[in-house]
Amino acid sequence: MTHATPTPQHHAPTPETPGLLRIAGLPYFIIAFIARLPFAMMVVGVLTVVVSARGSLSLGGLTSAAVGLGTACFGPLLGAAADRFGQRTVLLILAIANGAMLVIFTLVVYTGGADALVLIAAFGIGATAPQVAPMSRSRLVTMIADRMPEALRTRTVSGTMAYESAADETVFVFGPFIVGILASALAPWAPLIGAAVLTVVFVGAFALHPSARAVSVHRDEDGRAPSKVSELFSPHLLIVVVGILGVGMFFGTMLTALTSFMADRGAPEQAGLLYGVMGVGSAILALGVAWLPVRFSLRARWLLFSGILLGGSLLLLLVDSPAMMMVALAIMGIGIGPTLVTQYSFGAARSPLGRSATVMTMLGSGIVVGQSLGAAVAGELAENVGTGSALVLPIIAAGVAFTAALVNWPLSATRPRVASV
């Protein structure tokens, strides 16, 4: 059922067994990390440019949403194209197209183009955004399946998903920070031009890395035809998409509600600092998942950590001060990182043969869709009803992730291939 099922040649680790760092090479991880930065800079960079050049926060918000919508609509299609034609070809095209769209968007904004053109250009940025993170996950899982003994695969995949999730969270912390530095030191348009340069150079390097060819060889020489598209819609995989959609909704609703919470106290600019309490803890705990014992199954991890997330979110009903909000965010951070790692691990384990990039982009798009939807609804509630109503939404989002974990429990038991995970 999955792509990671080659006949094992070893049943126990040996001193000669290479680690994933040795298999992929340190340059791979450096290139893949930097290649993620442009996307983390795009949404905030677009908002900064529009607000600066057009003086409209409303248009800036719509433009940022358009970027996310473009990614959500085309992300899975780009993953499917990578599975069909190979990552190298798709990524090289996207590196050039996305770099061009970033420049075009900047020109449209500063030359007085109509608002509709601004939104179309923003959608184009999202639609052509290179799916570096999902494709990196796909590459690494393929390397693990091809080059590592079966006895090490479960732990290595878990550790890999932990690293990848922590890397994503790190770039989404540093991305806006870089935007702020470039916009302040140079000009509001500088972050987008910088993102364009990084996209062409580092996404191009990621495309040309030998690991891209390895994925293509695995696809071409596996000896079996790729799985049917219908297998992407199996209940075992769709429940993971629903769960990760809940995580995305949590991200969007929590940050928006937190901003409203701090605005009520006259310090909206401090929302990012408080949010960082959850982000840092989440990244640390995400990396810690790699050290959990194999007997602590994936389905148990999802249930436990999403339960912690839900429990922490219930404290939002009681918060009345920034200090108490910080405590709630710290508890939620314990749950959110490991939950996300576990969901990606399930996605890797349940990817149909030849569809790993598609599955990873489906999961990545689930986060983007949930985040965009959650932020939009939370913003409307906070502005028209009040912060208290907006703070209920992260609880609902956490409830979606937890409910998906409950549904996943019996589904895992019915799948011999994943019952132990």
Condensed to tens digits (0 to 9), the pLDDT of residues 311-351 reads 999 999 999 899 999 999 999 989 988 898 888 888 877 87
Q: What is the pLDDT of residue 185?
A: 80
Give yes or no: residues 243 and 199 share one domain. Answer: no
Instruction: For residue 254, give the nearest of 308, 350, 158, 325 by alpha carbon.
Output: 325
Domain assignment present for 410: yes
How does pLDDT run across 236-250, given as a tens digit for each residue? Answer: 889 999 999 999 889
Q: Residue 266: exposed, middle, or buried by beta-carbon count in 10 A (0-12, 13-18, 19+)?
A: exposed
Query: Could you give the CA distance from residue 117 to residue 98 in angstroms, rounded to a whole number?
Result: 16
The DSSP-derived string for 318-340 is T--SHHHHHHHHHHHHHHHHHHH
Give yes or no: residues 292 and 205 share one domain. Answer: no
Which of 220, 251, 278 corresponds to the end of one domain? 220
DSSP state of 149: -
Which of 167, 201, 220 corresponds to the end of one domain? 220
Give yes or no: residues 242 and 266 share one domain. Answer: yes
Question: Is the whole-model pTM more than 0.75?
Answer: no
Query: Could you give the CA distance from residue 296 to residue 291 in angstroms, rounded to a whole number?
Result: 11
Q: What is the pLDDT of residue 13?
A: 45
Question: Which amino acid type is present at position 114?
Answer: A
Give yes or no: residues 186 and 282 share one domain. Answer: no
Q: How many domains does the chain have?
A: 2
Give yes or no: residues 180 and 240 share one domain. Answer: no
How does pLDDT run across 175-187, given as a tens digit for each residue? Answer: 666 776 787 788 8
Give yes or no: residues 198 and 259 share one domain. Answer: no
Domain assignment present for 296: yes
Domain assignment present for 5: no
Q: What is the pLDDT of residue 349?
A: 79
Give yes or no: residues 171 and 310 share one domain. Answer: no
Give yes or no: residues 56 and 121 share one domain. Answer: yes
Which domain covers residue 269, as residue numbers?
227-421
Confidence of residue 2 (pLDDT cuts 50, 70, 90): very low
Percentage above 90 pLDDT, the chain = 27
Give yes or no: residues 117 and 200 share one domain. Answer: yes
Residue 402 CA to its chain's centroid (Å): 19
Query: Could you give the CA distance from residue 228 to residue 358 in angstroms, rounded to a whole number?
Result: 12
Higher pLDDT, 77 or 216: 77
Give yes or no: residues 167 and 137 share one domain. Answer: yes
Give yes or no: residues 305 and 420 share one domain. Answer: yes
Domain assignment present for 14: no
Domain assignment present for 65: yes
2 DSSP β-pair partners: 352
CATH number at residue 248: 1.20.1250.20
Give yes or no: residues 233 and 347 share one domain. Answer: yes
Which of 171, 186, 220 corresponds to the end of one domain? 220
The DSSP-derived string for 161-210 is HHHHHHHHHHHHHHHHHHHHHHHHHT-TTHHHHHHHHHIIIIIHHHHHSH
- On whether the CB atoms of residues 277 and 333 are closer than 8 A, the answer is yes
